[in-house]
């Protein structure tokens, strides 16, 4: 599975659990951290945890194991590191505070209109 396919699968997992404002940004040309950054919002700490759990479950089911998880106990920002793909799930306040969307604005947004529900 390519890193783009992994990022899209993560986005679909988040969408399936009603995650909000899902973004996939290609950062290959601007960072050595990863190829793609996935950013999404949950509407409560319980929702943030459920979204992160669903990403981990769906990717693991596809044979992709998470390398590292940060923030699992805080439930305001959970980061799942898949080496080539980094998934960030925030609550609304943490997403606004850390503003990763602005930080990675030089990346290339991936069009998810054909894979996410309206």
pTM for the whole thing? 0.95
Tokens of 52: 């992160």
d(CA 81, CA 33): 10
111 domain residue, yes or no: no
Which tens digit of pLDDT belongs to each residue from 62-81? 999 999 999 988 879 999 99
Q: Which H/E stretch holds residue 26?
A: strand 20-26
Q: 71: alpha, beta or left, given left = phi > 0 and alpha = psi -120 to 50? A: left
Which CATH number does the domain housing residue 99 bear? Answer: 3.30.460.10
The answer to whether residue 99 scores a pLDDT higher than 80 is: yes
> Percentage of the chain with pLDDT > 90?
95
115 domain residue, yes or no: no
76 domain residue, yes or no: yes
Count structural domains, the chain. Answer: 1
Chain-wide mean pLDDT for the chain?
96
117 domain residue, yes or no: no
80 domain residue, yes or no: yes
Q: How many CB atoms lie within 10 A of CB 65?
A: 9
Structural domain for 41, as ranges: 3-105
56 domain residue, yes or no: yes
pLDDT for residue 117: 86
pLDDT for residue 70: 96
Query: Residue 39, SS3?
Result: strand
């Amino acid at each position: 599975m390519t890193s783009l396919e992994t990022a899209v699968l993560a986005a679909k997992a988040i969408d399936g659990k009603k995650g909000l404002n899902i973004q996939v940004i290609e950062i290959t040309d601007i960072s050595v951290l990863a190829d793609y950054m996935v950013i999404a919002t949950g509407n409560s700490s319980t929702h943030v945890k459920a979204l992160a759990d669903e990403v981990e479950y769906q990717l693991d089911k596809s044979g992709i194991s998470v390398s590292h998880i940060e923030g699992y106990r805080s439930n305001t920002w959970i980061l799942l590191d898949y080496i080539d793909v980094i998934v960030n799930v925030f609550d609304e306040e943490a997403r606004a505070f850390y503003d990763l969307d602005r930080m990675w604005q030089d990346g290339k947004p991936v069009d998810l209109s054909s894979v996410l529900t309206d």
